[in-house]
């Protein structure tokens, strides 16, 4: 790719500065300039540190992956424990709420009397709509709260303290679930609803403070802000690829998520063989691993300081940007330039609010960061549709499995094939497929990976529609198969066919979700990473809201159509995404070049000043990405 920058997308003064510096050619590269070295890693073969590559080196040298400290990967163990407890609860929640207490249930704990029958465990008997409404409420709130959890982490508490708040809230939630499953409480279904709903809300708060901050904290442990050249003991020069390193860290993190999710297999059997109180107690025990690991890691992690009032400045920058005449500026590709303080002062505006004489509280860097945040979040628009395809609407797939012959297998066991598929597929991608593609320089760009994930998720919904049609055709109750008490009460079709839907959607996650996590971090400004991650998680909340809106329609004999509608919407979304972001790789390359130059400039200023404690007034030098794109 050319070293030049698209001047239509980048401010002219930035373009001139970049193209006049080290990027113009190897012959102008100053190998003695300390600004061209990163000192995060120094050894006998790299005494000055790791050097930023020349343009020729960037094109020709072999690329390898970097690594963070081994201790930092214990954060993946934290995510494993948190997700294990979360999915172990949510996986059995549908049966707990929807299905009534089985007749002659041993001890009144919710397990069916016969261990070999196709009857499912149950407790409160509130029906499919109530179960779908409450499980969807859990998902919705759990992915709305991250907007606040990510915000306070970025601006006030820091990521580590915010995670601790989530850990405490989550522990309280698990205790409440155990209380709700006590036999004397179950016997009064309405009384059991109160602690169940309170536990759902509390668990949502815990998730909302942990989820947006754990992955950014993990990625913060990788210290290099750009690609660097490393000399190996053999004398070979290689490039340590930052983007691919963060991709690897994301895959490991996502693998840990799904190892944790696989713990639901245990609680699915426990609810059916023993009862719900013990099934809720096991996740509580697993959850205790979280505070133990966090206490151990506290002195061993690298922390980034909170950066003040992000939302306040973001709101003010946005108001100035979209003030009168914004449409004309948008057409001229100068929309965000209007809010840069240097431009505001140049046109005679010295205050944010001239009447109240409110000072301008941001600098040019802030404007670039807000613009970058908007650009990085554009890809999230399509993910509410993907999330609907990834597991179906509400608990419809779990209910579908309960309408088929299971021969004693819990109907909520089959969802475990989602994390199992991911556990198997991610190492294959990370150690075989992706290295092979890198070796032979086969491009598999982020946009292509996400679109392919959408295609796979859509296929899972097509499979669900076909299965539901077959259930209706073979059930003793025909097109009213969900609650059937005629004959065996279930279709003779093996419930194992439900596995196909979970395998396809899980494969879709390996391509779409992991890439989106990676982009949410790498394309976000440094002081907005938690917020941008929360915005990505918020797409799940939007999906839950859509699911909640159609809950009333999840009734026989119309259960084929939810699957079919989601499949169609997913394929349309995949086509739209692929078209809109077809040039994202070009934009990301421009961002990388500008990011590396700005990082070098910042390092040079720090060296020149002998270290700067307060760099709030530095010109736009600290951004992790550029101002490219509309």
Mean pLDDT on 419-432: 91
Q: How far, in Å, CA of 347 to CA of 559, rounded? A: 61
Confidence class for position 548, pLDDT limits 50, 70, 90: confident
Q: How far, in Å, CA of 193 to CA of 195, rounded? A: 6
For residue 351, the cross-strand partners are 359
E strand map for 390-532: 404-405, 491-494
Q: How far, in Å, CA of 562 to CA of 392, rounded? A: 8
What confidence tens digit (pLDDT) does each residue in 464-482 have? 999 999 999 999 999 888 8
3-state secondary structure of 238: strand
- Flag whether pLDDT at 372 surpasses 80: no
Instruction: Please choose, from the candidates 67, 32, 9, 31, the residue with its C-alpha nearest in 3D space to the C-alpha of residue 594.
Output: 9
Residue 81's pLDDT is 92
Instruction: Please choose, from the candidates 399, 470, 455, 448, the residue with its C-alpha nearest in 3D space to the C-alpha of residue 567.
Output: 455
What confidence tens digit (pLDDT) does each residue in 247-280 have? 889 889 989 988 988 888 888 888 888 888 888 9
Confidence class for position 394, pLDDT limits 50, 70, 90: low
Q: How far, in Å, CA of 494 to CA of 500, rounded? A: 12
Residue 629's pLDDT is 31
Peptide bond into 557 cis (omega under 30): yes
- Whole-number Cα distances in Å, 201 to 128, 174, 208, 595, 596: 20, 11, 10, 40, 43
Q: How far, in Å, CA of 274 to CA of 92, rounded? A: 13
Q: How far, in Å, CA of 177 to CA of 285, rounded? A: 13
Please calculate the CA angle 375-380-381 and round it to the nearest 5 degrees. Answer: 100
Provide the 10 A C-beta neighbour count for residue 582. 13
- Flag whether pLDDT at 401 surpasses 80: yes
Q: How far, in Å, CA of 82 to CA of 160, rounded? A: 15
Q: How far, in Å, CA of 217 to CA of 570, rounded? A: 32
What confidence tens digit (pLDDT) does each residue in 340-352 have? 888 898 888 888 8
Chain length of the chain: 630
Mean pLDDT on 444-460: 95
Query: What sections of 434-474 are H helices per DSSP?
Result: 434-439, 446-474
- Flag whether pLDDT at 613 surpasses 80: no
Give the per-residue SS3 of 148-199: HHHHHHHHHHCHHHHHHHHHHHHHHHHHHHHHHCCHHHHCCHHHHHHHHHHH
100 close to 122: Cβ distance less than 8 angstroms? yes
Phi-psi region of 132 (alpha: psi -120 to 50; beta: other; left: phi over 0): alpha
Domains in the chain, CATH or no CATH each: 1-36+585-630 (no CATH), 71-114+122-300+372-582 (1.20.1250.20), 314-362 (no CATH)
273 close to 410: Cβ distance less than 8 angstroms? no
Name the burial class of residue 533, with classes exposed (0-12), middle (13-18) and buried (19+) by CB atoms within 10 angstroms of its CB: buried
476 close to 482: Cβ distance less than 8 angstroms? no
Residue 425's pLDDT is 94
List all residues 6 or more positions away from 616 whose beta carbon is below 8 Å from its beta carbon.
363
CA 626: distance to chain centroid?
22
Confidence class for position 614, pLDDT limits 50, 70, 90: very low
CA 91: distance to chain centroid?
20
The one-character DSSP state at 429 is I
Most confident of 562-571, 593-602, 609-618: 562-571
Confidence class for position 592, pLDDT limits 50, 70, 90: low
Q: How far, in Å, CA of 507 to CA of 498, rounded? A: 15
What confidence tens digit (pLDDT) does each residue in 177-216 have? 999 888 888 877 677 888 999 999 999 999 999 988 998 8
What is the DSSP annotation of 534-547? HHHHHHHHHHHHHH
Give the HSE-up count for residue 298: Cα atoms under 13 Å, Cβ half-sphere.
9
Q: How far, in Å, CA of 141 to CA of 382, rounded? A: 20
User: At 70, phi and psi to the nearest 5?
Assistant: -65, -35
Q: Between residues 497 and 120, which one has the greater pLDDT?
A: 497
List all residues 6 or more positions away from 15 whose beta carbon is below 8 Å from its beta carbon.
5, 7
116 close to 406: Cβ distance less than 8 angstroms? no
- Whole-number Cα distances in Å, 622 to 106, 113, 220: 63, 64, 15
User: At 479, phi and psi to the nearest 5?
Assistant: -80, 15
For residue 404, the cross-strand partners are 491
Predicted model pTM: 0.71
Name the burial class of residue 293, with classes exposed (0-12), middle (13-18) and buried (19+) by CB atoms within 10 angstroms of its CB: middle
What confidence tens digit (pLDDT) does each residue in 37-50 have? 988 889 999 999 99
Q: How far, in Å, CA of 366 to CA of 496, rounded? A: 53
User: At 61, phi and psi to the nearest 5?
Assistant: -70, 150
3-state secondary structure of 68: coil
Say what angle helices 417-428 and 242-261 make with each other, to 10 degrees.
150
Residue 531's pLDDT is 74
């Amino acid at each position: 790719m050319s070293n030049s920058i698209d001047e239509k997308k980048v401010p002219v003064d930035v373009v001139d500065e970049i193209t006049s510096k080290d990027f113009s050619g190897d012959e102008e590269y100053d190998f003695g300039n300390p600004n061209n070295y990163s000192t995060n890693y120094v050894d006998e073969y790299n005494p000055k540190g790791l050097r930023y590559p020349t343009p020729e080196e960037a094109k020709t040298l072999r690329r390898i992956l970097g690594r963070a400290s081994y201790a930092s990967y214990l954060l993946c163990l934290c995510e494993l424990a948190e997700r294990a407890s979360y999915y172990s609860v949510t996986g059995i929640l549908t049966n707990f709420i929807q299905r009534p207490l089985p007749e002659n249930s041993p001890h009144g704990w919710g397990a069916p009397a016969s261990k070999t029958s196709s009857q499912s465990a149950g407790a409160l008997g509130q029906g499919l709509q109530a179960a779908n409404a409450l499980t969807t409420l859990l998902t919705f709130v759990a992915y709305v709260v991250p907007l606040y959890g990510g915000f306070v982490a970025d601006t006030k508490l820091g990521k580590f303290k915010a995670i601790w708040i989530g850990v405490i809230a989550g522990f309280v939630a698990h205790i409440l679930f155990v209380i709700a499953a006590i036999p004397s409480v179950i016997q009064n279904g309405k009384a059991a609803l109160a602690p169940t709903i309170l536990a759902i809300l509390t668990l949502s708060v815990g998730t909302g403070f942990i989820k947006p901050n754990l992955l950014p904290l993990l990625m913060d442990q990788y210290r290099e802000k750009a690609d660097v050249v490393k000399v190996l003991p053999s004398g070979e020069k290689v490039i340590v690829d930052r983007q691919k390193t963060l991709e690897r860290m994301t895959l490991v993190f996502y693998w840990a998520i799904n190892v944790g999710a696989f713990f639901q297999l245990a609680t699915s059997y426990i609810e059916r063989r023993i009862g719900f109180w013990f099934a809720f107690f096991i996740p509580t025990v697993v959850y205790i691993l979280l505070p133990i690991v966090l206490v151990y890691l506290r002195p061993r992690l690298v922390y980034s300081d909170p950066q003040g009032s992000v939302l306040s400045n973001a709101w003010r920058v946005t108001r100035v940007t979209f003030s009168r005449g914004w449409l004309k500026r948008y057409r001229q590709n100068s929309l965000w330039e209007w809010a840069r303080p240097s431009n505001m002062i140049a046109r005679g505006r010295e205050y944010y609010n001239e009447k109240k004489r409110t000072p301008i509280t941001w600098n040019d860097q802030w404007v670039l960061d807000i613009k970058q945040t908007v650009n990085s979040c554009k890809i999230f628009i399509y993910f509410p549709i993907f999330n609907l395809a990834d597991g179906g609407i509400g608990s419809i797939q779990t209910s579908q499995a309960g309408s088929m012959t299971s021969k004693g297998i819990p109907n909520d066991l089959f969802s475990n094939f989602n994390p199992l598929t991911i556990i198997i597929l991610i190492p294959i991608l990370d150690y075989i497929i992706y290295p092979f593609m890198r070796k032979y320089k086969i491009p598999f760009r982020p946009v292509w990976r996400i679109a392919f994930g959408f295609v796979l998720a859509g296929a899972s919904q097509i499979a669900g529609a076909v299965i539901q049609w077959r259930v209706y055709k073979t059930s003793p109750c025909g097109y009213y198969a969900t609650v059937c008490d005629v004959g065996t009460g279930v279709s003779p079709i093996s419930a194992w066919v439900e596995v196909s839907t979970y395998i396809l959607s899980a494969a879709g996650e390996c391509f779409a979700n992991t890439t989106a996590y990676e982009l949410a971090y790498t394309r976000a400004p440094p002081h907005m990473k938690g917020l941008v991650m929360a915005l990505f998680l918020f797409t799940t909340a939007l999906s839950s809201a859509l699911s909640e809106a159609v809950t009333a329609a999840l009734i026989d004999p119309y259960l084929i159509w939810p699957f079919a509608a989601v499949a169609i919407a997913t394929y349309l979304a995949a086509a739209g995404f692929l078209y809109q972001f077809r040039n994202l790789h070009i934009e990301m390359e421009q961002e990388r070049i500008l990011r590396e130059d700005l990082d070098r400039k910042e390092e040079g200023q720090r060296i020149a000043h002998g270290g700067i404690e307060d760099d709030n007034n530095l010109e736009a030098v600290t951004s992790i990405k550029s101002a490219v794109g509309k």
